[in-house]
């Protein structure tokens, strides 16, 4: 069955706290990574939590990018979901890693297709 979309998940542990505390800096890095990879952003927004941390999102012409920071744990979780080319999704993830220089990271890519849908109940 043909792949319909790609879902890239990034879990990053950072040593540089600037990225975890400065929402404009992180938004610009993720935005630049998407644009340089050929993903088209049509809207963006974020929400800052008190006392720290924030969630951000970019609506793409082909789906979305979302992220959430946990400064107290030096963590950022990022999801890139798109029905654009696999190369663009993976390149955006690699560019984010290049800019943020995490101490550790995990990157997982899921292919989403109709044939992979099964019925499941979680309790």
Q: What is the mean pLDDT of residues 20-37?
A: 96
pTM of the full predicted structure? 0.90
CA 118 remoteness from chain centre: 25
What are 45-92's pLDDT values in tens digits? 999 999 889 999 999 999 999 999 999 999 999 999 999 999 999 999
Is 120 part of a structural domain of the chain? no
CATH code assigned at 83: 3.60.90.10
Q: Of 40, 55, 51, whose CA–CA distance to 88 is shortest?
A: 40
DSSP for the chain, please give it.
Answer: ----EEEEEEEEE-S-THHHH-HHHHHHHHHHHHHHTTPPEEEEEEEE-SSS-EEEEEEETTEEEEEEEEGGGTEEEEEEEESS-HHHHHHHHHHHHHHH--SEEEEEEEEE-GGG-------
Q: How far, in Å, are 89, 94, 105 from residue 12 at the CA level?
A: 17, 12, 4
**What tokens does 87 get?**
């190369």
Positions marked active-site: 63, 68, 83
Q: 61 is in which domain, residue-wise? A: 5-113
Residue 122 falls inside a structural domain: no
Q: Indicate if the pLDDT at residue 117 is higher than 70.
A: no
**How many domains are contained in the chain?**
1
Whether 118 is covered by a domain: the verdict is no
What is the pLDDT at residue 113?
77
* Residue 121 lies inside a defined structural domain of this protein: no
């Amino acid at each position: 069955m043909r792949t319909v979309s790609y879902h890239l998940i990034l879990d990053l542990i950072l040593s540089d706290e600037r990225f975890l505390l400065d929402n404009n800096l992180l938004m610009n890095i993720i935005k630049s990574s998407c644009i340089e990879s050929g993903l088209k952003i049509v809207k963006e927004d974020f929400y800052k939590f008190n006392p720290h941390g924030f969630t951000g999102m970019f609506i793409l012409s082909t789906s979305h990018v979302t992220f959430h920071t946990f400064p107290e744990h030096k963590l950022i979780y990022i999801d890139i979901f798109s029905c654009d080319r696999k190369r663009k999704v993976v390149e955006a993830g690699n560019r984010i890693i290049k800019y943020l220089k995490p101490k550790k990271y995990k990157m997982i890519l899921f292919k989403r297709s109709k044939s992979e849908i099964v019925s499941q109940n979680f309790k």
